[in-house]
Chain A
């Protein structure tokens, strides 16, 4: 078992290194000259300033030297300067990451609680109307562009009923000191984006939970469990659920990349200033260092989520082998 874990950790590490390499290469191929882009945002442009930027950024160094420097600086925690904001990238989006984590955390929680619950209902009533309704709605939301679903909620709750705020993660007041009113304010701003993300990603969990439960429920040992006189609830809790839960663990991890994509769209639609919102600003401003950092942090997050899922899976299921 230790060997399996060691291999997983090494693989995760290699993947992160490869992500960093790709990150380095892709942004070298980006159109535009970084030394010039940096100048575009300051008023006094001159050849001297341009050359100085080239020197500071090390653009004259050979590519491999730049590459090594990029690695060293990434591990030191120096993630570059934003062109548009002219301050370290981490200062620009450091706080934004927390808002994104809040949004993702809340909706991931509800996605799994509600998704597993719906999946259980569908599996227990498989082939009958509750199952058809749940699977049908699941596929319907699965095929919905998540940004459009967000807009539809805006149409209903903001455009038509005017009962919820439309933009941002809170009203336009300073965050500190935190008072009860502000927490309520933050939560009301959270309702629409979190609901969009939850409903948009719930279908995947529901369908997988349903299919895996249906698989388990047709196994012989379930028949045995019924035969020895257990009722539905006991069979579900003791015999079916533990086994059906395994694929869900993998899904959580696999979904991280998908959910991150959803978060981007939702943050743009609701003007929720998390990393997705800042990344889109960065694209429109050609602020590549910010984008590069998001690319890096997103990749690392997904790799870590997968690693953690693998570790949990190995703990839960002794049959897991190296693949």
Chain B
């Protein structure tokens, strides 16, 4: 399938009533299609995409078709692996397989929403800092240094304690607001070079406002650069959530893989088994993270051709 041809066709069909808009979107769709085509040619991109799709389908399937509530225990406590409970059961009789399946949705949610928060923050801060320059830039960069310097795990733990709620959304917020500093750095560096380019100078010469220049001339040139970074941030956010959960600071209201691992470790499963209890949720984390990392690297290769392997 050629996305370069298919996507514009779909766009044209969808917006047939408004030809002007259809043409404009059609151009965007063609670019997106081109990138997708190049991306799917890479080995990393294909494998990564397959892994992510697998987990997305798994989480939808779990929500629709798995009839068990992962929060409700039973009398079958600490069962070994069997046909009935492939991954065993925990100390209040919850089936670990059901818990693991339900963890998929939480991990994906955390990954995407936390990524959106830290990307948004990072882009805004980076744009502001790079474009304003001078002392404002200095001030913002020093604050950025603070966030880069404090060990991320300690900062997260402290902020989680300050917020004092352990809902899924609080955890997402914690991960989001601690993860923006690298993005801000990248965006700022790019803005600094863009700012001096001729097209920006021309825009300024014809009297464009700062806001207009940022939105129309600078932002579009920054986006491709941070796109790959965004996908890698999804992976890092999922890792952060599992670490927080493992340390007992995870969300109380939903199942996550990190929480299952916390229970497994608390019950000494690594010594007494069943090993599937402790291996499978971890493998899920590894593969989801791997999927996003692969896609991120592949995107980087496609969008920043300088990096293509020589």
Interface residues of A (CB under 8 A from B): 11, 14-15, 18-19, 22, 26-27, 29-31, 126-127, 139-140, 142-148, 151-152, 154-155, 158-159, 166, 214, 218, 257-258, 260-261, 264-265, 268-269, 279-280, 283-284, 291, 294-295, 298-299, 302-303, 306
B275 at the interface (CB under 8 A from A): yes
Closest to A29 in B: B162
Q: Quick check: B164 and A298 within 8 Å, CB to CB?
A: no
Q: Which 9 A-B pairs have the closest CB atoms?
A: A143-B289, A261-B153, A148-B282, A260-B151, A143-B290, A302-B149, A298-B151, A154-B270, A15-B145
**Contact residues, B129-171 vs A (CB, 8 A):** 142-143, 145-146, 148-155, 157-159, 161-162, 164
Answer yes or no: B177 CB below 8 A from chain A CBs. no
The residue of chain A having its C-beta at the shortest distance from the C-beta of B306 within the complex is: A215
Beta-carbon contact of A158 and B271 below 8 Å: yes
Whether the pair B150, A299 counts as a contact (CB closer than 8 A) is yes
Q: How far is the CA of A302 from the CA of B181 in the complex (A)?
A: 15
In the complex with contacts A29-B162, A214-B310, A260-B153, A145-B282 CB distance below 8 A: yes
Decide if B270 touches A158 in the complex (CB within 8 Å): yes
Bound-state Cα–Cα, A29 to B273, Å: 42
**A to B CB contacts below 8 Å, 10 in the list:** A22-B146, A30-B161, A139-B290, A151-B264, A152-B279, A159-B270, A291-B154, A299-B146, A302-B149, A303-B149
Q: How far is the CA of A91 from the CA of B56 in the complex (A)?
A: 50
> When chains A and B are docked, how far (Å) is the Cα of A143 from the Cα of B47?
15
How distant is A208 from chain B, measured CB to nearest CB, in Å? 13
CB contact under 8 A between A143 and B162, given known A264-B154, A280-B247 = no
Q: In the complex the two chains form, is A143's CB within 8 Å of B239's CB?
A: yes
B-to-A contact residues, CB < 8 Å: 142-143, 145-146, 148-155, 157-159, 161-162, 164, 235, 239, 242-243, 246-249, 258, 261, 264-265, 270-273, 275, 278-279, 282, 285-286, 289-290, 293-294, 297, 309-310
Minimum distance in angstroms from B139 CB to a CB of chain A: 10
Q: Could you tell me the distance in whole angstroms from the C-beta of B146 to the nearest C-beta in chain A?
A: 5
- A145 to chain B: which residues have CB within 8 Å? 239, 242-243, 246, 258, 261, 282, 285-286
B248 contacts A284, CB within 8 Å?
A: yes
Q: Are B142 and A11 neighbours in the complex by a CB distance under 8 Å?
A: yes
- Which residues of B lie under 8 Å from residue A152 when comparing CB positions? 279, 282
Main secondary structure, interface of A, reads: helix
Which residue in chain B gives the minimum CB-CB distance to A279?
Answer: B154
What are the residues of chain B within 8 A of A140 when measuring CB–CB? 286, 290
Query: With the chains together, A14 CA to B135 CA distance in Å?
Result: 14
Does B293 lie within 8 Å of A143, measured CB to CB?
yes
Docked-complex contact A298 and B310, CB < 8 angstroms: no
- For A12, the closest partner residue in chain B by CB is B145
Contacts of A260 in B (CB 8 A): 151, 153-154
Distance in angstroms between the alpha carbons of A269 and B143 in the assembled complex: 33
Question: Could you say which residues of chain B place their CB within 8 Å of the CB of A268?
Answer: 247
- Choose from B161, B246, B273, B285 the contact partner of A265 (Cβ within 8 Å): B246
Q: In the complex the two chains form, what is the Cα distance from A269 to B246 in whole Å?
A: 10
Given contacts A26-B162, A143-B290, A280-B247, contact A151 B261 (CB under 8 A): yes
A133 and B203 alpha carbons, distance in the complex (Å): 49
Which A residue's beta carbon lies closest to that of B149?
A302
Residues of A within 8 A of B264 (CB): 151
CB-CB under 8 A for A142 and B293, given A148-B285, A151-B265, A268-B247: yes
When C-beta atoms are compared, the residue in chain A nearest to B271 turns out to be A159
Taking a contact as CB atoms under 8 Å apart, the answer to whether A257 and B146 are in contact is no
Contacting residue for A298 out of B154, B161, B258, B285, CB 8 A: B154
- Shortest A177–chain B CB gap in Å is 33
Query: From residue B204, how far is it (CB to closest CB) to chain A in Å?
Result: 24
A30 and B162 contact, CB distance less than 8 A: yes
Question: In the assembly, what is the distance between CA of A159 and CA of B247, in Å?
Answer: 21
Tell me the smallest distance from the CB of A173 to a CB of chain B, in Å: 23
- Taking each of B150, B235, B249, B275, which has the highest tally of chain A beta carbons within 10 Å of its own beta carbon? B150
B297 surroundings in chain A (CB, below 8 A):
139
| A residues near B293, Cβ cutoff 8 Å | 139, 142-143
Residues from chain B with a CB closer than 8 A to the CB of A154 are 270-271
B152's partner among A159, A261, A280, A284 (CB-CB below 8 A) is A261
- CB of B150 within 8 A of CB of A302, answer yes
Cross-chain contact of B158 among A144, A264, A291 (Cβ < 8 A): A291
Beyond A31-B164, A261-B153, A298-B150, 11 additional contacts (C-beta under 8 Å) are: A22-B150, A30-B161, A126-B310, A143-B290, A143-B293, A145-B261, A151-B265, A155-B279, A159-B272, A268-B247, A283-B247
Query: Is the pair B282, A295 in contact by a Cβ cutoff of 8 Å?
Result: no
**Interface contact A295-B270, CB-CB below 8 Å:** no
Contact of B271 with A151 in the complex, beta carbons under 8 Å: no
